[in-house]
A and B are shown apart, each in its own frame.
Chain A
Amino acid sequence: MTICIQKQDFDAGYEIKRLCAKNTNIGGVCSFIGLVRETQSGSSVKAMTLEHYAGMTEKQLVKIEEEALDRWPLEESLIIHRYGRMVPSEQIVLVVTASAHRKAAFESCEFLIDWLKTKAPFWKNEETPKGKEWVQARASDDMAADRWQK
């Protein structure tokens, strides 16, 4: 179980290989990568700056990862979340889950990204032709997170 909050980019292929090399019981790996999208609500995004609450971010991600471990038989997991300024196409977040069988890997990967979006203290500020704007939380993200409530 690993959490990384970092400014620099990541290499998903390298990270997945490294994670799998640690554990020979892994039979399936699932990954999700979130990218900076150029079009947001009709306007074009030149860049995005991600701010976070250092200290609380790590605690929240550990909690979310522990919750995933409680629910699924995971062998390994990894969350890398970047902060700072990024331009369209840049990678923001990587979630990797690995288990003996695919179902747990698929489900827990989706769970982690859904919960992370609404429970980890990150905020996006977009640079658009109209100026800089804080991204508003979406009701659809809350709904995606809520469907995992027990």
Chain B
Amino acid sequence: MKILYFAHFREKTNIAEETIDLPNDVTNVETLIDWLVERNDSFADAFVDREHVRVAVNQEHVEFDMPVKVDDEIAFFPPMTGG
């Protein structure tokens, strides 16, 4: 599974892009975040305010209950501020 981090998620985790093996207990976006924050303090800090976490699966904006699969591209980012 490919995971991309944008804006403060990239800065806090110090990772722009990574590929991980899908952990057994990860079934959707919510459980993926649960797994990520267990990694270390930087991840815990990046995802501390889940209300302001936005996520895309395969470049489509989705909610946290969206199922995730091994060949998905997941992206985490804050609310958008373009224009």
Q: Is A96 an interface residue (CB 8 A)?
A: no
In the complex the two chains form, is A53's CB within 8 Å of B83's CB?
Answer: no
How big is the A interface, by class? 20 to 34
Whole-angstrom distance between the alpha carbons of A93 and B83 in the complex?
Answer: 6
Contact of B7 among A34, A51, A59, A113 (CB under 8 A): A51
Q: How many residues of B contact A (CB 8 A)?
A: 16
Given the complex, which residues of A lie within 8 Å of B82, measured CB to CB? 50, 52, 81, 93, 116-117, 120-124
- What mask results when residues 1 to 34 of chain B are scored 1 for a CB within 8 Å of chain A, else 0? 0001011100000000000000000000000000
Given the complex, which residues of B lie within 8 Å of A122, measured CB to CB? 80-83
Residues in A93-143 with C-beta less than 8 Å from chain B: 93, 113, 116-125, 134-137, 141
Q: Is A92 an interface residue (CB 8 A)?
A: yes
For residue A49, give the distance in angstroms from its CB to the closest CB of chain B: 10
In the complex the two chains form, is A123's CB within 8 Å of B6's CB?
Answer: yes
Q: Is A13 an interface residue (CB 8 A)?
A: no
Whole-angstrom distance between the alpha carbons of A92 and B83 in the complex?
Answer: 7
In the complex the two chains form, is A53's CB within 8 Å of B81's CB?
Answer: no
Q: Is A1 an interface residue (CB 8 A)?
A: no
Whole-angstrom distance between the alpha carbons of A107 and B7 in the complex?
Answer: 32
Contact of B83 among A55, A59, A60, A116 (CB under 8 A): A116
In the complex the two chains form, is B83's CB within 8 Å of A123's CB?
Answer: no
* Contact A56/B59 with A123-B6, A123-B7 known, Cβ cut-off 8 Å: yes
Chain B residues proximal to chain A, CB less than 8 Å: 4, 6-8, 56, 59-61, 75, 77-83
Given A120-B82, A123-B6, 9 more A-B residue pairs with CB atoms under 8 Å apart are A116-B83, A117-B80, A117-B82, A121-B75, A123-B7, A134-B8, A137-B78, A137-B79, A137-B80
Chain A residues proximal to chain B, CB less than 8 Å: 34, 50-53, 55-56, 59-60, 81, 92-93, 113, 116-125, 134-137, 141
